[in-house]
Structure formats: structure tokens, C-alpha cells
A and B are shown apart, each in its own frame.
Chain A
Amino acid sequence: MSQKRLEILGELIPKGSRVLDLGCGDGSFLKYLQTSRQCFGYGIELDDANVASCIERGVNVLQLNLEEGLKLFENQSFDVVLQMDTLQHLRNAETMLKETARVGKMGLVTFPNFAHWPNRLSVLKGRMPVTKHLPYEWYDTPNIRVATFNDFQELAQKNNLRVSKAFGLVGERPISIFANLLASTAVFTLTSTLSTGEN
């Protein structure tokens, strides 16, 4: 993740939060949150190389399979649960949103926006998109859940998550107007309605 993106997304996390990062990759965002936002947290990651990178960085990492849920974590035990470019890899994407709402008071979710205009163009031409942000062919992509900016808003509400902020990223530039068309990455901050007592 670029420094600029670390800063834009880091801004969304209240300082000193207890953070759980689902699919934390090499741990760079968690490291950034620890050093620049005084956060305390754990990452969950399955990939061996990424787990080793986290340990190398001095980030707490737990090698667990997200497809098995978050059974090690108690209700509302984290201030923030992160899913940065994780959702699209999960078979149980919806369950994981429910789990996010159960375990965290707040959620931060990012994913590649399938309705980004180059993707639309490609589909119009009759081909699945292969772009900078979705660089895989349809048959070998790890992105098994492709969603659009608008799709996600709907699903979040269904799973005890109220959207508090929604915007898109065009490269490193945040945009909030026509995000569904213009943004390559969708960014959502969510409040767990289980923490606020809403239904």
C-alpha cells in the first residue's frame, strides 16, 4: 500500500483503537496504525509468506482461515475490524460481514469496485475486465466475489452494519460523487448496529 493510501485510510481509524485486521497481508497497514495512530491490534492472515512478513515487522499476526469464521473472538471485543481488499477473496463474504458487526464496534471495508468504468467498458465489449486493479483472468482470479460500490451498501445494511462514510478512491484521490462509476476502490466505514443497540 502506498504511503498516501496508508494516510487516507489511517485517518479513518480513531487514534488508540483496538484493531483486528482480517486478511492483513504483510502487516504494513497494521504497522502504520501502531506507529502513527497508536493503535493496538492483531492481523489474521493465512498465507505463509505474509505471516512471516508480519512477524518480521513486529506485528501481531494470527495464522487462521477466515473461512472458519472468527470464533476465537468475543462479541464487541474490538474498536475496529478491518477488511482491506479481503472481502472479494472470501467464499463466506456475507458471514464475515456479520462477524465484523459482531466482533467490532466499527468496520472499515475496502474492495475493488467492479462498476469502475474501465470494467464496464470491458464487459460492454463482451469480455471480463483485466485491469490494473483486477489484473487476473476470469479463470484464475482469487477475487471470487466481485461487487460494485452500490451492491455493497445494500449488503452491509442487511448484516447489522450502518454505513457511516462511503467514498471511492481513484488512484490515491478520494472521491464521493459518482464513486460507483469513477472509483477503482470502494471504501466504507461502518458502525455495528449491535454496538449502538439499533436494529
Chain B
Amino acid sequence: MQFKEVLPLESGASLGSYELAYETYGQLNESRSNAILICHALNASHHVAGEYLGQSNSKGWWDNMIGPGKPVDTNRFFVIGVNNLGSCFGSTGPMQINPATQKPYGADFPVVTVQDWVDAQEKLVTRLGIENLLAVMGGSLGGMQVLAWSMRYPKRLKHAIVIASAPNLTAENIAFNEVARRAIVTDPDFHGGHFYEHGVIPKRGLRIARMIGHITYLSDDVMNTRFGRQLRRASDLSDPDATQAQNYLYSTLDVEFQIESYLRYQGDKFAEYFDANTYLLITRALDYFDPAKNFGGNLSEAMRCIEAKFLVISFTTDWRFSPQRSQELVKALLDNHCQVSYVNIDAPHGHDAFLLEDPQYMSVVKSYFKHL
């Protein structure tokens, strides 16, 4: 959807006109009261559920959660997936042409924040003719957008579902983002963010960024269960030296362990489809998010205006967005006498758990949505 009006940004800059890519699932009812907005995290898009016709392997990123008969049942609800500004999946972002220069924005794309995303989402929702959202839901960075919605447009949503998220990033978390950004920025193919015109992509940087990110999305336990100290050649059945496969290669450059092979694969895959400038922008948006900042660090004060009813979910093995961070949110909601339920899911998968199928997780969300 095209927007001609200027969008003022938190930084003081603005976007003259912009496009937002979105998808909807299910039917908006007559009273327009069954709309649910889904906010995406770092590397996802507006394509949250279902498959594109004739394209296998095009399943939406939250397809296990959203669809007919699923926890967020599209037979009952009108679900909206929206791609955020600065992303690389259709909404206005660094890969698109800057009307001022007639060249791709690249590094000149303005820094966007969670608040800016939510402001743009609000324009989309309004344009779709929806005054009040039944719920806004998201995990990780998506959960931060849900929080921002509940504070910025407290009267426009009835329910806020915040999953595996936090009221801001810790120093350690920012540090991980910074390592990823440095990997991209120091790639010789980055060209100060204007690599499009050089016909190259800083793939090395993107790969490393993804590798470090991926490590932080898993738990130590799940990595050990899946890979342990397994050697790559031992699992490669086509290797004629299968009998030798348990011996080390004594090489610093070859892929020796299975975990290395897995991370490289994830890195390669990511570098094929993700934009380097988008990665920088989105990790920065994560770093900057801190609604308590304007209230002297007092989150309870910041959340005083909240009217929505909350469901907060964390995962026991998530160390990137730990249960303690979710409990900070819960505390601020309790201080404001808000309606809130909090569930700490005992899942082994670390931060990634919010995208995976877990019976308790799915059943809790399903039960919650039954009451909406």
C-alpha cells in the first residue's frame, strides 16, 4: 500500500512517501472488530502464514501459529501481516530508489525505530478501515512493537500478546548486535552501504552476522543434543573414507565439526536473501528501543497509559530475551493494575522456541484467543 503523506520519524528525519507490503488472512467481520496485527522480528516479513500458490517452500514464518483451526484461527480472526519500513521484503527500504537521488537509498535510508514502525503500521490499519484492533501480537523484536502499540495507541488495541521479548536490550545484547554490524560494515564489498551500485553484496559480513545471531537464538543444550562434538565427515555417508571419518583432519581451515557446517549453511542461506543495510537498520532499532528512557528509566511510569489486556510469554532456556526480562514487563503491568497473564514455557530451544511448535505454548495461545 502506497502512502503519500510524510511520515515524521523519531530521529527528527522524515520519509516523504513510502510503501508498506502487507498480507491479510481471514475475513474482517461487519463490525470490524476481529482484526489482529502480527509484528515481525529481525529477519521475517509480512508473509506470516500460508503458502503462495504453486510455490512449495514458501510457508509463512508463523504458519504453525496462524491459520484455519490454528491457535490464531483465521476462520474467526482477520489477521494482518505487515513488513516494516527499512526491511527488504517489499516495504520501502534501503534497496529501493530514493526519490531525491534516483538511486537506491543504501546507507542514506533514515534510521527507523520501533516507534516509527508502529506509527506506519497505524496508518496501514487505519487505511484498512480498522479503528480498533482486537489484538497486536509479536515475538522478540515483534513483541517490542506490541509494547510500543500499547503505549502509543493505548485505545486502539484490546489485547497485547508479547512473546520472548524485553522492555529494552541489555549491554550483552547490544554487544551481539554490534559484532554482527561490524562484520557487515568491514566487509570490503560493503562500500559504505552503497554496494548496490558496485554490483556486489557484502555476503561475508552477512554470513558472519547471521552465524553469531544464530548462536544466540539457540540454547547450549539444544546445540549439544543436535550437534554435540559430531564431526562433519562422520555424518557424510557418501564419504568413501567413512572408516577414517572419526579422525580429526588437523586443519584450521576445513569444516571439521558438524556445528560449523550448520552455521555456515545458515550464514550462506541468509546472505542470499537478506539485505545488509536492512540488517544494520533493524539491529539498531532493537538497540534503541527503550520506552522507559523518557521516564527516568522507570518502566512502570512509562506504562501508566496502558489499557490493553496482556499475555506475556517467555521460554525457560531463552538467554537472549530471558524470562527475567519478561518479568520486568509483568511487574510494570502489575504496578499499573493492568490485566496480565504470564506464562514461562519450559522449552529447550532457547530464543528460537517462539517460532517452534511446543504443545504447552500452542495450547496457551489457543486458549487465550478463545476468549477474545
Contacts and interface: CB of A to CB of B under 8 A. Distances in A.
A93 interface: no
A48 B346 contact: yes
A56 interface: yes
B369 to A, nearest CB: 10
A55 interface: yes
A74 B331 CA distance: 9
A48 B363 CA distance: 11
Contacts of A74: 334-335
B360 interface: yes
Contacts of A51: 343, 364
A51 B359 CA distance: 13
A62 B330 contact: yes
A72 B327 CA distance: 8
Interface in B315-370: 327, 330-331, 334-335, 337, 339-344, 346, 360, 363-364, 367-368, 370
B166 to A, nearest CB: 16
B340 A72 contact: no
Contacts of A149: none
Interface in A41-85: 42, 48, 51-52, 54-56, 58, 60-64, 72-74, 77
B198 interface: no
A89 B193 CA distance: 60
A55 B334 contact: no
B370 A64 contact: no
B371 interface: yes
A52 B313 CA distance: 12
Given A48-B346, A73-B334, A74-B335, A55 B340 contact: no
A62 B335 CA distance: 14
In this complex, the interface size class of chain B, counting residues with CB under 8 Å from chain A, is 20 to 34
Interface string B250-268: 0000000000000000000
A60 B343 contact: no
Contacts of B364: 51-52, 55
B340 A60 contact: yes
B340 A52 contact: no
Interface centre among A48, A63, A72 (most CB of B within 10 A): A63
Nearest to A72: B331
Contacts of B343: 51, 55, 61, 63
B363 A60 contact: no
B95 to A, nearest CB: 42
Contacts of B337: 18, 40
Contacts of A77: 334
A70 to B, nearest CB: 10
A101 B172 CA distance: 38
Contacts of B341: 54-55, 60-62
Given A62-B340, A64-B342, A72 B330 contact: yes
B337 to A, nearest CB: 8
A184 B339 CA distance: 35
Interface in B33-59: none
Contacts of B342: 61-64
A42 B334 contact: yes
B212 to A, nearest CB: 31
A25 to B, nearest CB: 15
Contacts of A64: 327, 342, 344
Given A52-B363, A63-B342, A63-B344, A58 B371 contact: yes
Nearest to A65: B344
Interface in B220-237: none
27 contacts: A18-B337, A40-B337, A42-B340, A51-B364, A52-B360, A52-B363, A52-B364, A52-B367, A55-B311, A55-B343, A55-B364, A55-B368, A60-B339, A61-B341, A61-B343, A62-B330, A62-B341, A62-B342, A63-B342, A63-B344, A64-B342, A64-B344, A72-B330, A72-B331, A72-B334, A74-B334, A77-B334
Interface of B: 311, 327, 330-331, 334-335, 337, 339-344, 346, 360, 363-364, 367-368, 370-371
| Pairs of residues from A and B, 5 with the lowest C-beta to C-beta distance, nearest first | A56-B367, A55-B367, A62-B342, A72-B331, A63-B344
Given A55-B343, A62-B342, 16 more contacts: A18-B337, A42-B340, A48-B346, A51-B364, A52-B363, A52-B364, A52-B367, A55-B367, A55-B368, A56-B367, A56-B370, A60-B340, A62-B330, A64-B342, A72-B327, A73-B334
